[in-house]
Amino acid sequence: LGIDLTTLGLNLNSPDNLYKTFGSPWSNEPAKGDPDFHIPSCYF
Amino acid sequence: DLGAIGDNLTGTSASSGHDQLYNLQMLEAAFHKLPQPKDSERAKNYVPRHPAVTPASYPQIQAPIVSNPTFWERIGSDTLATDMLFFAFYYQQNTYQQYLAAKELKKQSWRFHRRYNTWFQRHVEPQVTTDEYERGSYVYFDFHVTDDGSGWCQRIKNDFTFEYNYLE
Amino acid sequence: FASAADFQDKVAVLFSEWCQICDHPAMGDSVYSHYIVQLQQNGLLKGDDVTDRFFFSLTELAIAHSIVPEQTIAPTGLSQQPSPQQQISYFSIDSYSKLVASVVKSVDLGPNKGSLLHKILAVTARIIQKDAEEKKVSFNPRPYFRLFINWLNELTTSDLHHDGTNFQVLTAFANAFHILQPLRVPAWSFAWLELVSHRCFMPKLLMCNLQKGWPFFQRLLVDLFKFMEPYLRNAELGQPILLLYKGTLRVLLVLLHDFPEFLCDYHFSFCDVIPPSCIQMRNVILSAFPRNMRLPDPSTPNLKIDLLAEISIAPRIMTDVDGALKAKQMKAQVDEYLKRPEGSLFLTDLKQKLLLPQNEANVAGTRYNVPLVNSLVLYVGMQAVQQLQQNKANASASAQINQSPQMDIFQIETATELFRNLVMTMDTEGRYLILNAIANQLRYPNSHTHYFSFIILYLFAEATQEIVQEQITRVLLERLIVNRPHPWGLLITFIELIKNPRYSFWTRSFTHCAPEIEKLFESVARSCG
């Protein structure tokens, strides 16, 4: 009958995009380390 | 046997081609050499621009909390707190801290002027607003040199025109 | 260079110089750029075969220096633990990846800037394939994984202001991952899926350049499904393929949540390579609907599907639906039959045309050409929908008759006759695949969902043998009893089947053929409201 997909560690009701903290296909944990950010060049 | 599982079982036994068996063996081997979380972690390569030797009792690495967005969101909007944001913005360039400080400044209604490289905040509602610009009195954060020395301070600019094509 | 060995030695010297530079991070960028100028002056960065050999040697050096010599582990007790992961020292790989990132960013080979990156990726792909072929089960994927993760972090930016360059870089990686797909390098499958779904790659490829990256990512997903397909046909999965399967589900859930339109637009191509037994995974794809769409609750009493605005809009299908038909030179015959069915012999040997030659059947695990069946069903359905909408437009233009919004059977009787003929003349397996191809179109509110929902219910009502009704029920039910998500179109079709007295569903003997079946139907009926 398949898997209860809510047990795969992804918050499927999250209002935010999941990809920002998607750690790995093998883990239930969100990604560690600095999330992706970018600074406009005029800030330098 | 009218549905999915039944029908296809018959076909499978005849379809264990060498390549499928080989692929499964290779997959099995890879199963024991999964990428580890540390394989993806970027070395915290925060390299101080001008490293200075400090007593060993001083913290030698950045406190993790400065990488936590919540820490920056909690910084208030009084002058001292805002100065902290400006410090991170101007003195920790190209780091996650600068990114978080800029985000917080924008949340506190500061706007970055790309030509003057300066943050402005409306002091009062602008007198004129068009699609291209707005004009009025603004507070701005500036490095200021006076006869009694220099330093950062907030000043007021009246009758300033903020052209939107300079808005970051 | 006097000889290959001499060349190798020179490269080794250059590499150790670079590593020393990297070992002192406080050194400014000027040292890096000076080193790169030297490489250019040595003629190593012209983009010719010397460049290839240069990066080939550098890659082998970086990888060779990353593997810490195997620690000999004495067997512990009876159960020999799988040998712990080999230790990897990242320094040589991080240094090499930094050299490549610096070179790619600073050396401009002219208008097609991406070419140096393409070259280096092509060399790296060649090395990985060679290494995996030679080492087989002792191939270690992790050093190469580290190399690519570094490059993805350093070379892709989310700076949408530089979308053009970013797109070139992302598609260069997409092409490299396609070359290194699991069917070619199975020992790299787990590293491959982690890279392809990485937050520095997948979302950027899907968000940049107005969806131009979508075909590249669709191709990578198809690569993955093709690799898993032979193993997923059975219900039992060994640990490795189960892990890969669960990993795929996670990636699909991220796509379902963040990029549902991508899954909507490519569902047809994915259904071709997902085995019919993979019901839940296929449901994830078929459950996707555009984010700006609000789906009415399927169990709403007296829900008027026909009155939904979206129901008459055709869904976007980004893959060519008639590709398989054209490949078998059947498209013209289908068109001819739909235009002039009288006296056509098209239906007489249609079943034969859908069968695979014996040798291919063994490999495919089924006697039928599933992509051809899928193509025929959807293509015919699309013609019927277009015809319907054309007639409706004519009718409302002439405003002669007040045409009911209901599907007007007579205008699509040719297509319906084709589906009825298929369902009546096919054997159990063939009929299952036809019904599956129809059920794969039961998705979010659109004109295909509307049409195929009508068709499958019509086939149920018109069936002269109960086995057909049983099989239609089976195809719908097996998609509903798996864990969520369930496609909206599937739910509204099943609810209509069990509620509308026209189908007298509950009087069918198979709904009472065993107590647990009876309970199953009731529980599904309850969960459908």
Mean pLDDT within C453-470 = 94
Q: What is the pLDDT of residue C88?
A: 83
For residue A42, what is the DSSP state? G
* Pair C275, C436: CB distance under 8 Å: no
Q: What is the pLDDT of residue C162?
A: 60
With 90 as the cut, is the pLDDT of residue C331 above it?
A: yes
Mean pLDDT within A22-26 = 92
CB pairs under 8 A between A and C: 79
Q: What is the pLDDT of residue B47?
A: 61
Does C412 or C436 have the greater pLDDT score?
C436
Within an 8 Å CB–CB cutoff, is residue C139 touching chain B? yes
Is the bond preceding residue C182 a cis peptide, omega within 30 degrees? Answer: no
Q: Cα C53–C128–C67 angle (5° rounding)?
A: 95
Tell me if B30 and C429 make a contact (CB, 8 A cut-off).
Answer: no
* Confidence band of C406 (pLDDT split at 50, 70, 90): very low
Does C260 or C73 have the greater pLDDT score?
C260
* Confidence band of C112 (pLDDT split at 50, 70, 90): low
**CB neighbour burial string for C201-234, b if at least 16 within 10 angstroms, e if fewer:** bbbbbbbbbeeebbebbbbbbbbbbebbbbbbbb
What is the share, in percent, of chain B residues with pLDDT greater than 90? 42
* Confidence band of B152 (pLDDT split at 50, 70, 90): confident
Q: What is the pLDDT of residue B16?
A: 37
Smallest Cα distance from B21 to chain A, Å: 23
Q: What is the pLDDT of residues B109-137, one digit of tens each?
A: 999 999 999 999 999 999 999 999 999 99
Within an 8 Å CB–CB cutoff, is residue B41 touching chain A? yes
Mean pLDDT within A6-34 = 87
Report the run of H or E that residue B113 belongs to, with start and end: strand B110-113
Q: What is the mean pLDDT of chain B?
A: 82
* Residue among C190, C199, C482 minimizing CB distance to A2: C482
Within an 8 Å CB–CB cutoff, is residue C249 touching chain A? yes
Angstrom distance (rounded) from CA C62 to CA C17:
13
Within an 8 Å CB–CB cutoff, is residue C274 touching chain A? no
Q: What is the pLDDT of residue A30?
A: 83
Amino acid at C281: M
CB pairs under 8 A between A and B: 38
Angstrom distance (rounded) from CA C10 to CA A28:
46
Tell me if A24 and C203 make a contact (CB, 8 A cut-off).
Answer: no
ipTM: 0.86
Question: Which residues of chain C lie closer than 8 angstroms to A44, CB-CB?
Answer: none
Paired with C357 in beta bridges are: none
For residue C368, what is the DSSP state? B
With 80 as the cut, is the pLDDT of residue C22 above it?
A: yes
Backbone phi and psi for residue A25, each to the nearest 5 degrees, phi listed first? -65, -15
Q: What is the mean pLDDT of chain C?
A: 88
Tell me if B102 and A39 make a contact (CB, 8 A cut-off).
Answer: yes
Q: Which chain A residue shows the shortest CA-CA distance from C481?
A: A1
How buried is A3 (Cβ within 10 angstroms: 0-12 exposed, 13-18 middle, 19+ buried)? middle
What is this structure's pTM? Answer: 0.83
With 70 as the cut, is the pLDDT of residue C71 above it?
A: no
Tell me if A40 and B168 make a contact (CB, 8 A cut-off).
Answer: yes
Q: What is the pLDDT of residue C74?
A: 43
Q: What is the pLDDT of residue C440?
A: 98
Contacts of C504 (CB under 8 A, 6+ apart): none
Mean pLDDT within C169-176 = 94
Report the run of H or E that residue C341 belongs to, with start and end: none
Minimum mean pLDDT among C7-21, C147-161, C226-240: which range? C147-161
> If you count them, how many residues does chain A have?
44
Mean pLDDT within C443-452 = 96
Given CA atoms C179, C182, C186, C191 in this order, what sign does their dihedral have?
Answer: positive
With 90 as the cut, is the pLDDT of residue C182 above it?
A: yes
With 90 as the cut, is the pLDDT of residue B167 above it?
A: yes
Paired with C88 in beta bridges are: C67
* Confidence band of B146 (pLDDT split at 50, 70, 90): confident
What is the share, in percent, of chain C residues with pLDDT greater than 70? 90
Mean pLDDT within C113-137 = 90
Paired with B155 in beta bridges are: B140
Report the run of H or E that residue C226 belongs to, with start and end: helix C214-232
Does B28 or A39 have the greater pLDDT score?
B28
Q: What is the pLDDT of residues B31-80, one digit of tens each?
A: 999 999 889 887 655 666 667 778 888 887 778 788 888 888 888 778 77
Within an 8 Å CB–CB cutoff, is residue A2 touching chain C? yes
Question: Which residues of chain C lie closer than 8 angstroms to A17, CB-CB?
Answer: 203, 257-258
Q: What is the pLDDT of residue C106?
A: 82
Q: How far is CA A4 from CA B158, C280, C440, C482, C484, in A?
A: 62, 10, 22, 9, 7
Q: What is the pLDDT of residue C158?
A: 58
